[in-house]
Structure 1
């Protein structure tokens, strides 16, 4: 592929224009994909948690990871580790659902380590999220298949009624 044929954003940075599936895997050009999350969106913490939860519930943890990444890059420095840890949990779930047990377990544990011992924040029970991530990492390593929507963690509050 020639350099000028590569997908670029308005500032010349490489960006893949290929459509993606719900787990963020690239699809062939022209295929029907899911809408991508816009990058660089500044949200309140409550908006971040709510949007990420909706994406997790829809089985789209890769896209939830992008929402958390925006928060860690645009929010206050004292919250960067919180949002980065949550992004790692989401991308760990992504890898696990894609069948990458090693990468999934590693990222789930890395995210759990980042959240362990932190005080709850923005309505999130971080101890419960840490326990969820460590438990899922063990199951993934044991070879259990992962359905991203079925395994989506609750970030805050009680589950929505079905």
Structure 2
């Protein structure tokens, strides 16, 4: 960029972004984590930091939250969520975290200052543990994984 010219992207709107992993066991139960800072459970993942790709955020968050070095698979969900309850709008992405076997599961170690624990959750347990928005996102991620595609969602509802 020639000197003296202003970067026009500086004033563009910003969106919050998070990346998560859909991790299952052989019985298709979803791995959920129980944060110390809120009542609802989550999938492993978190905020994408400045100058970090969503893929790298998923890797980092998995290492921080589960103590596992997983290589995320393909993208299964992109979910735009509107602003609400003091939260800005955002874009949430979910990667296929694969299926953990018993050996990998035994290596899970959660940080006690961030998580109370973790659990495998079948669909009814998942619906009780997570917010409705995340329950919809998880359901769509499971469908996308099975279909071999990526689903685009708005507020947890499939658009395409």
Question: TM tier, shorter chain?
Answer: 0.3 to 0.5
Relative to the length of structure 2, the TM-score reads: 0.32
Structure with higher strand content: 2
- Whose RCO is larger (CA < 8 A, sep 6+)? 2
